Amino acid sequence: MIDRGAKIFAIEYDTEAVDFLEKDLTSYIPNQLKLEQADIRTFNLMRLEGDYKIVANIPYYLTSNLIKIISESDHPPTIAVLLVQKEVAERVCATAGEMSLLSVSAQFYWQTELGLVVPAQLFTPAPKIDSQVLILKSRQKPLFEVDSKRFFRLVKAGFAARRKTLLNSLSGGLRVDKEHIHGLLESAQIEPSKRPQDLSLDNWFALYQTACSQELI
């Protein structure tokens, strides 16, 4: 992409790393690189003109927050290629039976793929865990037509007590008595004994539609 004239807007939080990169990279691609010391958590993505892609090796602790930021942005990237903790990459791409709030949130906004595994020994110093490339491709159109605030209110309520059944977690999270929640789940054709990690995105959408019709969210 650099050979084809792609422009690079590099963001680095560490001031010492910025100094090093300025000396090392600007001599290599002086006319294509803009380097800025900034915190991606507060950086205004609207400053990036047109379609853009994100390629990043990010601190592990930022993964969930960064995915949330780019997902909810008014100007998200067309694709994000992130090197993250292997376990987290697997969680993002999970299927029904192993879902989490993170996987539901990510897959709602993105087509998710697992890329190459990067063993710990390739880093200096070597961390205790392996890393993996996580690929997030922007959906051409929304996965479901929903009010995202209401949808995620429901999902967050479901995952509020991950080890409990949906009957118990939704009752507590939505502050609705179990009788109503039992009826809600049955109407959505979901077993009340299931746990939140068992539900697919389609299940959550069906539950959302039913909850809206019953004015529970």
Q: Domain boundaries in the chain?
A: 39-138, 148-213
Q: Provide the pLDDT for residue 28.
A: 66
Question: What's the pLDDT at 193?
Answer: 95
Using DSSP, state whether 140 is helix, strand or coil: coil
Contact status, residue 70 vs residue 127, Cβ threshold 8 Å: no
Q: How far is CA 145 from the centre of its chain?
A: 19
pLDDT at 21: 83
Per CATH, which fold does 39-138 belong to? Rossmann fold (3.40.50)
Q: pLDDT of 162-183, one tens digit each? A: 789 999 999 999 999 999 999 9
| Residue-wise pLDDT tens digits, 91-132 | 999 999 999 999 999 999 999 999 999 999 998 888 899 999
Mean pLDDT of the chain: 92
CATH numeric code, 148-213: 1.10.8.100
